[in-house]
Amino acid sequence: MRKFYKKRVAFATLLILLTTSLFANGLTIDNSDGIILDKTVKKMKEMGSELYQKTKISTIIVAKKHLDKNSFLFLKDKYLKESKKPFVLWIFSKTYEDRDNIGLNQMFNSKDLDGKFDKDSLFSPFTGTFTKILTVHKSKVDPTSAAFLNGYGDLVDMLANSYGVELKSSIGSGSHTSTNVLRIIFYSVVLLSIFVILRNKFRK
């Protein structure tokens, strides 16, 4: 009986240690589908760790190739219940439900972080540091890693600034700069297309 009790205590202690380490090291990331490159994850963890050390803000990212509604709700409830305040939870899936061309991109945070960052800065289809790369990027290389690096870099910078601290590991204004370049290219292509269409009509 005593041995059984000791085993239960040891198991419970190990579980507590694992849970504590999981949600107390800055960035917790579920990249089991491998849609974010390892070198990108490494840099994101560096930024997330420094953010946590200076502000105690934990960030959790779940990046999946596909989620259905039940899986999404399970992951959302799990992390919202288990994460310690203050925290930001970001759940992304390339496809959602049975729709091949529609993904899922949701961000949640503890109430103490309300107003500490701007989701539009991340997810606006025209100016967002995350979504802009996904919608404009035209390459054979999957842009997901680049989008996450830019978006996460923007997120941790906003959170750090709201606490009055600066991150040495930050990628700085690079995310905004690259997004602005892409935006200029995008609008230039659109305007050029409109010009060509109008010119051809006037010629006719």
Site of tokens 């005593």: 2
Model confidence at 78, pLDDT cuts 50, 70, 90, reads: very high
Domains of the chain: 25-203 (3.10.310.50)
C-alpha angle with apex 166: 22 to 63, nearest 5 degrees?
35
pLDDT digits (tens, 9 = 90+) for 147-196: 999 999 999 999 999 999 999 999 864 444 444 554 455 556 556 667 67
pLDDT tops 90 at residue 14: no
What percentage of the chain exceeds 70 in pLDDT?
A: 73
pLDDT tops 70 at residue 46: yes
pLDDT value, residue 66? 96
Query: Which range, 9-23, 50-64, 172-186, is most confident?
Result: 50-64
Model confidence at 29, pLDDT cuts 50, 70, 90, reads: very high
Higher pLDDT, 98 or 40: 40
What's the chain's average pLDDT?
A: 81
Higher pLDDT, 16 or 76: 76
Q: What is the per-residue DSSP string for the chain?
A: -HHHHHHHHHHHHHHHHHHHHHTSSSEEEE-TT--S-HHHHHHHHHHHHHHHHHH--EEEEEEEEEE-HHHHHHHHHHHHHHPPSSEEEEEEEEEETTBTT--EEEEEE-GGGTTSS-HHHHH-TTT-TTHHHHHH--SSS--HHHHHHHHHHHHHHHHHHHTT---TT--TTHHHHHHHHHHHHHHHHHHHHHHHHHHHHHH-
Does residue 125 have a cis bond before it (omega within 30 degrees)? no
pLDDT value, residue 198? 72
What percentage of the chain exceeds 90 in pLDDT?
A: 59
pLDDT value, residue 162? 96
pLDDT value, residue 70? 96
User: Is the whole-model pTM more than 0.75?
Assistant: no
pLDDT value, residue 102? 86
pLDDT tops 60 at residue 132: yes
